[in-house]
Amino acid sequence: MQRTPTLIPDAPQGTAAPAALTAPDAPPTPDDAAHAAETPGAAGHLKSAVIAILIFTVALGLISPIVMTGVAQVAFPKQANGSLIPGPDGQPVGSELIGQAIAPASQPFYFASRPSALSSGGTPAPYDASNSGGTNLSQTSQKQHDAVATNVAAAQAAYGVTGPIPADLAMASGSGLDPHITPEAARVQVAAIVANRTMAGQRVAAADVQRLVDANTDGRTLGLLGQPRVNVLQLNLALDAQFGKPTPRP
């Protein structure tokens, strides 16, 4: 004979369930105690944060720079020390990365760099290495048009050119410190430099100056990147090395 299960009716609303149906709280186990002991409090989190800061400060602020500096000095010593250019006496006279301004009295005897829009306190300071920037003028700016027109007229007068001139002799670079000009910009200046140095008593031939331009022309980086360029400071040092420093006649 099959027994009919006894059903326990739901407890009336507002009354507690029978004691037999309420599970008692389980006593803590050793694992629970160990987990509670391993969970850090506020002091533990602070300690971990301080240790992490010290580790990363030493690793990234001390060890990494020392290692990178050492690798650079071994693998790329010239670049790591500023790509300095030595003069005739072996002392640095400039850097391959930063152009230089030439005194107006000496400029006719040397190749000119690109125009520079740098200024200090409102006073023009071309190729001031402590400053860097361009005009930030748009192509529709009248000031930009006037500046380009002024540069074009100055270049035409200085180099005896009546037609167009290379763009890098008309427009300033974005940094104001560009050490390079295009081979075309150097070629435009050859005749004027020959004439000015000849008037100063030097025997200078245009073919010799052009050979110096060609010898100091760098090609595209890796044969693909950028354009051929001439480092103006290196070219001017080569001029003096071959022909000597000019002395303007009174």
Count of positions (residues) in the chain: 250
Which pLDDT does position 35 carry in this prediction? 60
Nearest to 152 by CA among 140, 164, 144, 143: 164
Tokens of 2: 């099959």
* In the predicted structure, residue 201 carries a pLDDT above the cut 80: yes
Q: Parse the chain into domains and list their residue ranges.
A: 91-243
Tokens of 124: 């023009």
15-27 b/e (C-beta count within 10 Å ≥ 16 → b): eeeeeeeeeeeee
In the block, which residue shows the tokens 């400029």?
107
Largest CA distance in the chain: 140
Which pLDDT does position 50 carry in this prediction? 94
Q: Could you report the per-residue pLDDT of 151-186, keeping only the tens digit for each?
A: 999 999 999 998 899 999 999 888 999 999 999 999
H or E segment and range at residue 78: helix 77-80
- Res. 120 pLDDT band, cuts 50 70 90: confident
* In the predicted structure, residue 232 carries a pLDDT above the cut 90: yes
What gap in Å lies between CA 107 and CA 196, rounded to an integer?
Answer: 10
Nearest to 177 by CA among 130, 217, 221: 130
pTM of the shown model: 0.73
What gap in Å lies between CA 180 and CA 220, rounded to an integer?
Answer: 13
- Res. 123 pLDDT band, cuts 50 70 90: confident
Q: Which residues contact 42 (CB under 8 A, 6 or more apart)?
A: none
Tokens of 136: 């930030």
What is the dihedral sign for C-alpha 230, 236, 237, 240?
positive
